[in-house]
């Protein structure tokens, strides 16, 4: 039985079997108390092993991190802080742990240290909780889109086009070093890991109406910040027959729905983060879950607010500049003190696919920024007018023949459509208060960090 099930039992159980890792061990003259965890929930279950028994002999000196299988009785616990405990009848030591080598001792470890052992940190309370929150959040997202009649689609990871036009892509090749003739490469042309599934998602939305992707994306940006990783997961909904306003409505509903689901289903893990990571977390999530529209500002209004502010920014602001982290922080953390929806950006700083507004200067783009994290969602209404799209491709210096299938979609039954991308790891930061994205994904990939070293010297 899983520990999460045992702890939720409504009555004592005469015969139960549980497995887990020893999180703490306390020995008295006559007993050993083990706190056992199997990952199924944050709580440990207390197991009592009697001295002089075979179970005790099997346990031996096994300490923290050792794995055991136990059978026994689930009985009401006389101790404080737990409803149930296990009186151990039999114990098998599955895997002992050398206490000298085991890095996860019963004290607080720094995030930096834990990042060096990503294969073991999931056994700590905080990273176990982060991974359970990831799983629940993914489920909440699928449930949300399912209930809103979106279909879950899968878009390619290998691609020949650069959706965002930023050129920050990883190259995939089977060419031997030194061979430069691209016609000899696997696909006979350059291949990259996708930065976004959007363009393909558009094709599917223009057939199924409402679709979303939930998959890995890759960016070769050399950004060593607490908000960037080279491999991250993105949720990209795309809706036909929708404009920017409808899209923003979906994004707001999603950002209300996920915290609400987590508060209902993952409160133990959230409480851990509220206690040890961010004391304002639960209040913030409750406010998000209550809903109500977020604050909306046009890009032009943001520029005016920034110009009027008494702050001295490193990067000066004027219409046409991209908002820098310092500007985004001021807008969310000081001016709004809440998440903010920013729309209608200058077309000069946005990709070719965003729809031109009638003012001739801006596009129907939207970013949603949250305090402490910055941009969590980026999206737009798409340019559905054939002639305008062609002009935009050319203005961006792109060759329309590289986008011929994308242009076809405007040639055959084009409709207004819109979509956005939600960065999953940044969402996890929002849901947990974790301040470094490297701690919101199990095996983070950042510049110069692809692999990591194990601790054992026992390599056979």
Going by DSSP bridges, is the β-strand pair 67-76/45-50 parallel, antiparallel, or unpaired? unpaired
Q: Does 421 bind ligand 4AD (CB under 6 A)?
A: yes
Only segment of 49-57, 300-308, 321-329, 374-382 that touches Mg ion (CB under 5 A):
374-382
Q: Does 162 bind ligand 4AD (CB under 6 A)?
A: no
d(Cα 248, Cα 83) in Å, to the nearest integer? 45
Comparing CA positions, the residue from 250, 149, 254, 249 lying closest to residue 209 is 149
CB nearer to ligand 4AD: pick between 85 and 383: 383
The one among 378, 416, 433, 444 contacting ligand 4AD by CB under 6 A: 378
CB nearer to ligand 4AD: pick between 63 and 444: 444
Only segment of 29-37, 186-194, 228-236, 312-320 that touches ligand 4AD (CB under 6 A):
228-236
Contacts (Cβ under 8 Å, ≥6 apart) of 351? 163, 164, 165, 166, 396
Only segment of 273-281, 284-292, 418-426, 450-458 that touches ligand 4AD (CB under 6 A):
418-426
Q: Does 383 bind ligand 4AD (CB under 6 A)?
A: no
Comparing CA positions, the residue from 377, 282, 278, 283 lying closest to residue 328 is 377
CB nearer to ligand 4AD: pick between 27 and 243: 243
Q: Does 20 bind Mg ion (CB under 5 A)?
A: no
Q: Is the dihedral of CA 215, 219, 223, 224 positive or negative?
A: positive
Under rule CB under 6 A, which residues in 249-278 are in contact with ligand 4AD? Answer: none
d(Cα 367, Cα 341) in Å, to the nearest integer? 6
Other residues' Cβ atoms within 10 Å of the Cβ of residue 176: 7
The two structure tokens encoding residue 242:
């929708």
Residues in the chain: 460
Q: How far is the CB of 211 from ligand 4AD (least distance, A)?
A: 11
Q: Does 229 bind ligand 4AD (CB under 6 A)?
A: yes
CB-side neighbour CA atoms (13 Å) of 347: 23
Indicate the SS3 state at residue 174. coil
Q: How far is the CB of 199 from ligand 4AD (least distance, A)?
A: 8
Q: Does 378 bind Mg ion (CB under 5 A)?
A: yes
- Closest-CB residue for Mg ion? 378
d(Cα 249, Cα 141) in Å, to the nearest integer? 15
d(Cα 114, Cα 131) in Å, to the nearest integer? 14
| Residue with token string 């061979």 | 179
**Binding partner at 229 among Mg ion, ligand 4AD, none, C-beta below 5 to 8 Å by kind:** ligand 4AD
Number of chain residues interacting with ligand 4AD (CB under 6 A): 24
Interface residues with Mg ion (CB under 5 A) are 378
Interface residues with ligand 4AD (CB under 6 A) are 163-164, 196, 198, 219, 221, 228-229, 232, 234, 236, 375-380, 419-421, 423, 425-426, 437
């Amino acid at each position: 039985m899983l520990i999460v099930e045992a702890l939720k039992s409504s009555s004592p159980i005469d015969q139960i079997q549980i497995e887990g890792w020893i999180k703490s061990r306390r020995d008295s003259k006559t007993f050993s108390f083990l706190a056992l965890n199997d990952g199924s929930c944050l709580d440990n279950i207390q197991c009592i092993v009697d001295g002089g028994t075979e179970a005790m002999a099997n346990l031996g000196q096994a300490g923290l991190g050792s794995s055991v299988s136990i059978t026994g009785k689930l009985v009401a616990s006389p101790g404080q802080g737990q409803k149930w405990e296990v009186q151990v009848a039999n114990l098998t030591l599955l895997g002992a742990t050398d206490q000298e080598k085991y890095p996860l001792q019963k004290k607080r470890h720094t995030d930096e240290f834990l990042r060096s052992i990503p294969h073991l940190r999931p056994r700590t309370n905080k990273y176990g909780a982060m991974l359970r929150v990831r799983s629940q959040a993914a489920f909440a997202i699928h449930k949300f889109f399912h209930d809103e009649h979106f279909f879950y689609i899968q878009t390619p990871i290998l691609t020949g086009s650069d959706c965002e036009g930023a050129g920050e892509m990883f190259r995939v090749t089977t060419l031997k070093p030194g061979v430069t003739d691209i016609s000899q490469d696997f696909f006979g042309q350059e291949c990259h890991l996708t930065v976004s599934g959007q363009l393909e998602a558009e094709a599917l939305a223009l057939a199924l109406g409402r679709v979303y992707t939930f998959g890995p994306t890759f960016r070769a940006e050399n950004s060593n910040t607490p908000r960037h990783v080279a491999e991250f997961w993105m949720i990209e909904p795309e809706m036909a027959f929708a404009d920017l306003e409808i899209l923003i409505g979906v994004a707001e509903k999603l950002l209300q729905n996920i915290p609400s689901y987590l508060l209902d289903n993952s409160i133990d893990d959230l409480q851990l983060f509220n206690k040890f990571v961010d004391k304002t977390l639960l209040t913030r999530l409750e406010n998000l879950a209550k809903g109500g529209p977020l604050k909306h500002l046009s890009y032009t209004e943001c520029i005016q607010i920034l110009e009027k502010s008494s702050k001295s920014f490193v990067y000066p602001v004027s219409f046409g500049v991209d908002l820098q982290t310092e500007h985004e922080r001021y807008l969310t953390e000081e001016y709004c003190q809440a998440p903010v929806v920013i729309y209608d950006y200058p077309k000069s700083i946005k990709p070719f696919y965003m729809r031109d507004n009638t003012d001739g200067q801006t596009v129907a783009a939207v970013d949603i920024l949250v305090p402490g994290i910055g941009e969590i969602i980026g999206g737009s209404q798409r340019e559905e007018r054939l002639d305008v799209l062609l002009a935009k491709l050319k203005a961006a210096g792109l060759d329309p023949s590289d986008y011929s299938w994308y242009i076809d979609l405007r040639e055959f039954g084009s409709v207004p459509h819109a979509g956005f991308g939600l960065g999953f790891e940044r969402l996890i930061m929002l849901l947990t208060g974790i301040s470094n994205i490297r701690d919101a994904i199990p095996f983070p990939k950042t510049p110069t960090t692809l692999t990591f070293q194990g601790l054992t010297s026992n390599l056979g």
